Every structure is written in C-alpha cells, then in structure tokens.
Amino acid sequence: MNLTLHPIPVNEDNTKAEYASEDCQMLLKMWNDYYPQIGFHLPWIGYFVKRDDMIVGTAAFTGPPKNNKVEVSYWTFKQFEGQGISTASCRQLIEIAKKTDPKIAITAKTAPEKNSSTTILEKCGFVFSAIVQDHEIGDAWEWVLPGSGT
C-alpha cells in the first residue's frame, strides 16, 4: 500500500477537484478554523492521507508540542476503513515526530472503551496510560508510546 501524508495548508483552495468529497470539504473547513487556534507550525499540522492520488483520510498532530509532549490523531474515510490506512498513517506520524524531536513524548487519546482506534494504537506500540479529560469527548483514555520522550 502506497500511502503518503500531504500537509493541509492554511486557507487551501477548496475548489480543487481532489477536494470534491464531503469528507475533504469538512476537513478543510475544520483546519481553517483550527489553525488560528493552534498556529501552523510544520510538521505539527494536519495532513491528508493519500493512497496513490486519492485522499482516503487524515492524520494529524493536534498542535505543536507542549511540555515535551505531542498528540497524534487519524481518521480514515468510511469507504476505506479496515484497510490498514489509519495504522500506516499513525506510524508515519510517529516517524515524523521522532525525526523532528527524538526526545518528545508521543501520545494519543481515545474514547474510554475498546474500539478500532485502541487496536490501531496497540498495533503501533502505544500503551494505555491514564484516564484524562478531553474537550471533545470528556473522559478519555490517554495512550503513550513507550520509549518516546526519553
């Protein structure tokens, strides 16, 4: 599977043909609203996930590192779920983070239940760390990649 991450720029032209899907339009709007809050600091941004030339999902850092810690997130568009896209995307985010700052702790949050996202994180080597508060989901499970942040 040839997956690549492509930065989602600030105020990207949403009329491009590759952004025609509702999912892409929603993501462009979301990042246009989110970047003013967190800033646009490469590589700590949102990315479109492309398989060959088709956008199949997104992967992102939820913002630049804080307290030597960065959080990853990912989402595969419904019609492409179950194909390993989020797992591969998560691994690419880990590579970017380690390459950029080998001492940074890499984390993720999920709903507080076993689900496909917890399986993805476990496949990528993350371990459950704690129950934390998240502004979107309330109680959340925090996951940490062992060996990161050392």
pLDDT of residue 10: 93
Q: Quick check: is 75 in a domain?
A: yes
* 114 part of a folded domain: yes
Q: Domain for residue 48, yes or no?
A: yes
Q: How many domains does the chain have?
A: 1
DSSP assignments along 41-55, one per residue: -TTSSEEEEEETTEE
Query: Per-residue pLDDT for the chain (150 aa), expressed as one digit of tens each?
Result: 689 999 999 999 999 999 999 999 999 999 999 999 999 999 999 999 999 989 999 999 999 999 999 999 999 999 999 999 999 999 999 999 999 999 999 999 999 999 999 999 999 999 999 999 988 889 999 999 998 876
Is 31 part of a structural domain of the chain?
Answer: yes
Residue 101 Cα distances to 43, 47, 59, 116, 128, angstroms: 11, 19, 18, 28, 22
Q: What is the pTM of this model?
A: 0.94
99 assigned to some structural domain: yes
Helix (H, G, I), strand (E, B) or coil at 140: strand
Residue 150 lies in a domain: no
In a domain, 149, yes or no: no
Domain enclosing residue 129, as ranges: 3-144
pLDDT at site 1: 66
Is residue 56 in a domain?
Answer: yes
Domain of 27: which CATH number? 3.40.630.30
| pLDDT at site 137 | 85
Element (H or E) spanning 75, and its range?
strand 69-76
Res 145: pLDDT: 97
